[in-house]
Amino acid sequence: MKTKLWVGGILLLFVLYIAMSFTQAMRFMRTGEPIAIAIGVAVFVIPALGVWILIREILFGLRTEKMGKILAELGELPEDLPRMPSGRFVREAADADFPIHKQDVEAHPESWKSWYRLALAYDASGDRKRARASMRTAVNFFVAEKNASTTSK
């Protein structure tokens, strides 16, 4: 809950920043000077790119949260691994658990559930880059499955 409040606060500040940036961009573009117009376009495009990235990341977070809840309700989340006092997973336990999830993905390459569990295994092993890539694959399969079930109704 605390994280969602922080995200909401940052999102509010970002919306304020975007509104101010777009106002300044319009001021630059209305001058009629070629250089000012170019600056105005840049001031408009760069925050617009930021908006796109922000929306993409928020959707990613919402979808991964939803997938986690579905797996928890089905009892299909992986067993919790032992942790060190710092809260990190014991590396040996994570490395021993990893092949199970890798084989699951190899057996079910289009299952978002398998990819989700593999992402958790990568994260537990400390490989954040591959964890995020695997979670993106899980999200893509989840959205495709959701769209297919919506279309078939």
Whole-number average pLDDT of the chain:
91
Burial class (CB in 10 A: 0-12, 13-18, 19+), 39: middle
Higher pLDDT pick, 129 / 151: 129
Whether 116 has a pLDDT exceeding 90, the answer reads yes
Instruction: Give the pLDDT mean for 38-57.
Output: 91
Number of residues written out for the chain = 153
Q: What is the pLDDT of residues 117-140, one digit of tens each?
A: 999 999 999 899 999 999 999 999
Instruction: Give the pLDDT mean for 39-47.
Output: 92
Instruction: Give the pLDDT mean for 42-67.
Output: 92
Assigned CATH topology for domain 91-151: 1.25.40
Kindly report the number of other CB atoms within 10 A of residue 82's CB atom: 9
DSSP 90: P
Helix, strand, coil abundance in the chain, percent, nearest 5: 80, 0, 20
Return the pLDDT at 148: 86
Domain boundaries, the chain: 2-65, 91-151
Whether 151 has a pLDDT exceeding 80, the answer reads no
State how far the Cα of 8 lies from the Cα of 89, in Å rounded to an integer.
Answer: 29
Task: State the pTM of this model.
Answer: 0.78
Q: Are 44 and 38 in contact (CB under 8 A)?
A: no
Whether 153 has a pLDDT exceeding 80, the answer reads no
Q: What is the pLDDT of residues 63-88, one digit of tens each?
A: 999 999 999 999 998 888 888 888 88
